[in-house]
Structure 1
Amino acid sequence: MTLLSRRHAVLVFLVFAFAYFFSAVLRAITATLSPTLTREFDLNAQQLGLLAGGYFLGFAATQLPLGSWLDRHGPRKVVIGFMLVAIAGCLAFSMADGFSGLLLARVLCGVGVSACLMAPLTGYRRWLEAPAQLRANSWMLMTGSLGMVASTLPVQWLVPAVGWRPVFWLLAAGIAASTVAIAWLVPRWEGGAPPASAPQPSYGQVWRHPYFRRLAPVGFFNYGGMIAIQSLWAGPWLVRVAGYAPLDAARGLFIINLSMLCTFWSWGLVNPWLQRRGITTNGLIAGGVPLSLAALAAIIALGPQAGAGAWALFCVSSTFVSLAQPAIGMAFPAAVAGRALSAYNLVIFAGVFVVQWGIGLLVDAFTAAGWDAVAAFRGAMAVFLATCLFGWGWFMLAKDNE
């Protein structure tokens, strides 16, 4: 293992965080732009869900080859190549003139930023000690929350002034700047592929690992579902169920994402302290996930009375499942870390796509059955709650197989 000096580690963290910031803006921007895009392109709930989910579809499609490339070639070389695709995706989105063009560009954006978290986490597995890995993971997610904060009110203020298309020109420029910074400051990978005589790492050993299988459903439904809500469906709920005006909804999303930023910052502070005291990731997930389930059940029961504060509580209480990601990385040897992290990220983002699109399908189906908007959204969220209960139940029942 090659450990970086403290100063170099800080610089590497900052340039990766800069890239991940723009990745998170792209992830969540459709929630803020949903009223504008719905009006301009006459989108229904299913199309809106598919458009937002297209990012995650592109993201998920790259995860398996990404893990192999990260283990072999290292974070620096891989992430630079991917981010060039993200720049192309932003420019394509800004020029789209119909739903198909928007969707294709959205998929390209997802492909392009799909290495922005996995690349640093793979590097941290080799460059940092275990407590620092936990802290760096939480603070990377905090940076992502900062990007999601930037996708709310700042975007809402920019759109009337310059239009939504130039916003994507600015994103392309920011991603280009972060690509240059990574090329300059991130170290080259040492000792890439194992020698031919050594056992070759494979995804088989990842998928067969009992701990990976135990965490897969909670990653798919609970973690993926939380991201689906945060990056899309909280916005339409605030407008169509709680009755917020678009600007008020943007303020509500700002509150939600600011809450997530503070939460991940706090996790970064306390994770090393928890590890030193023997408080495990498994215990935190087992005890913490029921809080998110209770929050979601309350939102469904409250309906129009459930506003931004209720969704902030749900998202914050769901962050316990984020601890699974570094735990997966540390459960495998460093030579397989890229594959393990990317495989688990595939599970999470496949879940985001399924939940994001699935909620849209359910809302449209319930509406077609004669339900009003409030009832349709509550019904869709009740189905989502059932899937989250399944994910947590699987985790609890599988604990003896670890």
Structure 2
Amino acid sequence: MSDAWLSPRAAVRVFLAFALAYFISALIRAVTATLAPVLSAEMHLQASDLGLLAGGYFLGFSLTQLPLGTWLDRYGPRSVILGFLAVAVAGCMAFAMATGFSGLLLARVIIGMGVSACLMAPLTGYRRWFKPETQLRTNSWMLMTGSLGMVASTLPVQWLMPALGWRGLFWLLAALLVLAMLALAWIVPAWQSQTPRSEEAVASPKAGYGDIWRHPYFRMMVPVGFVNYGGMVAVQTLWAGPWMVKVGGASAEAAAFGLFAINLSMLAAFWLWGVVNPGLSRRGLTAERLIAGGLPLSFVLLLAIVWLGADAGWPLWAAFCVSSTFVALSQPAVALALPAAAAGRALSAFNLVIFAGVFVTQWGIGLAIDALSWLGWEESLRFRGAVAIFLACCVLAYGLFLRGHRGLRRAKLAA
């Protein structure tokens, strides 16, 4: 496969083109939190409407993951992401022209569908075009780009709002997506079908997802992908803010700054992972070993958050999110564990696991908060109880991962 690897200069150009598209998609994903007060006032939205509006993105995103993987393996990253981004452009335009909640929700679902290839397409390409030792780095730096987009969705968007309004903002986002499409069409290489006969059963796009789901490495990573990775994203994009307000007593402005700081911390963490990953890989520190050794730190921090309650502000939540980034190593590791020609399906299937975890955790924590009111608990205690339940789920998922990890180690030693 070495003849397919891109030169360093070409690899940088391809990375930057994909990174622009992923930056915009992450900005769009997180921007509803910043726009919530304006949309609530103008469209007369209730809290449940806002929750559904935020979830509409993830619904659209999830609907496309399985066909996306097959199309990526068959047609390649460039063709697929250009088609999907055209849908995202239409979604942004529809959002800008919406006159009511139903229009906003439909546009949000369309946007989610359209940007759903913005991470899977590049990771599929990197699996073939980049050397193995650089793939963990490029994955981390793509996630860093996503964190930068989430940072841009907070204070920078607030600064633009007086000049553009929320409708003008979405017209601007549509124009930026078109710019990203032009860059991708110009820079990203064409896709050539390469399926060695020894890998044909799993690698062929016609093989579907059965062998992907049954693969022991994939199944080992599912628990931490669903609960720990999905939970980290759920906290970062939703529950850290309400905790700061409802438990910590922070103002809306202070909570917005806290979210800005959390996203900035995540950006720095993913940048650092990209720097150190090649060296760790050369030393034989695989993704599963790093997850096994590092992820328990996040449990200690989550326990501290529950224990401290009102005294647990954004620095502890930032530390929890940063310590949870160990599990982000699972995504490129899954792609590397399966044949390169099956990378699109492997990545998309695992991404579906992660985003299902985001949805379930976001909803589950909210359900737990409401359910604990039946015990007569006051609001801050209900938040602490719900996070404690989430902590228990994280520890359980980690235990299932460890069992799978030890099973694979025993199988390798026996082979």
Q: Normalization by structure 1: what TM-score?
A: 0.94
Q: Of 60, 63, 66, which residue of structure 2 is paired with 1:64?
A: 66
| Aligned-partner Cα distance in 2 for 1:218–1:380 | 19
* Aligned residue in 2 for 1:11: 13
Q: Do structure 1's residue 326 and structure 2's residue 332 form an aligned pair?
A: yes
How much does 1:38 deviate?
Answer: 4.3
Moved more, 264-273 or 48-57: 48-57
Q: Do structure 1's residue 347 and structure 2's residue 349 form an aligned pair?
A: no
| Aligned-partner Cα distance in 2 for 1:303–1:390 | 23
Moved more, 314-323 or 97-106: 97-106
- How far does the alpha carbon of each residue in 1:84-136 deviate from its partner, in whole angstroms, 9 at most, with x for none? 11112222223334433332222211111110011001001110111111111
Q: Do structure 1's residue 106 and structure 2's residue 108 form an aligned pair?
A: yes
Q: Of 285, 300, 312, which residue of structure 2 is paired with 1:279?
A: 285
* Aligned residue in 1 for 2:144: 142
* Aligned residue in 2 for 1:75: 77
Secondary structure in structure 2 of the residue aligned to 1:359:
helix
- Checking the alignment, whether the CA contact within 8 Å between 1:45 and 1:361 is kept in structure 2 is no
How much does 1:366 deviate?
Answer: 3.9
- Checking the alignment, whether the CA contact within 8 Å between 1:71 and 1:193 is kept in structure 2 is no
How much does 1:340 deviate?
Answer: 0.6
Gaps of 5+ in 2: 409-415
How much does 1:358 deviate?
Answer: 2.4
How much does 1:170 deviate?
Answer: 1.7
RMSD between superposed Cα atoms in Å = 2.1
CA separation of 1:99/1:370 partners in 2, compared to 1, >3 Å: closer, same or farther?
A: farther
- Checking the alignment, whether the CA contact within 8 Å between 1:60 and 1:349 is kept in structure 2 is yes
Q: Normalization by structure 2: what TM-score?
A: 0.91
**Identity rate, percent:** 64
- How far does the alpha carbon of each residue in 1:223-282 deviate from its partner, in whole angstroms, 9 at most, with x for none? 011111111222222233322222222211111111111110100010000011111211
| Aligned-partner Cα distance in 2 for 1:42–1:384 | 32
- Checking the alignment, whether the CA contact within 8 Å between 1:89 and 1:109 is kept in structure 2 is yes
How much does 1:297 deviate?
Answer: 1.7
Amino acid at match of 1:311: W
CA separation of 1:251/1:272 partners in 2, compared to 1, >3 Å: closer, same or farther?
A: same
Alignment of 1:236-275 (within 5 A): 236-275=242-281
* Aligned residue in 1 for 2:411: none
* Aligned residue in 1 for 2:312: 306
How much does 1:19 deviate?
Answer: 0.3
Q: Which runs of 4+ in 1 moved over 6 A?
A: 192-195
- Checking the alignment, whether the CA contact within 8 Å between 1:49 and 1:356 is kept in structure 2 is no
| Aligned-partner Cα distance in 1 for 2:247–2:169 | 28
Aligned length: 401
| Aligned-partner Cα distance in 2 for 1:192–1:180 | 26
How much does 1:152 deviate?
Answer: 1.2
- Higher RCO structure (Cα 8 Å, ≥6 apart): 1
How much does 1:36 deviate?
Answer: 3.7
Gaps of 5+ in 1: none
Q: Of 371, 388, 398, which residue of structure 1 is paired with 2:394?
A: 388
* Aligned residue in 1 for 2:90: 88
Q: Do structure 1's residue 375 and structure 2's residue 381 form an aligned pair?
A: yes
How much does 1:166 deviate?
Answer: 2.1
- How far does the alpha carbon of each residue in 1:330-355 deviate from its partner, in whole angstroms, 9 at most, with x for none? 00111111111111011001111111
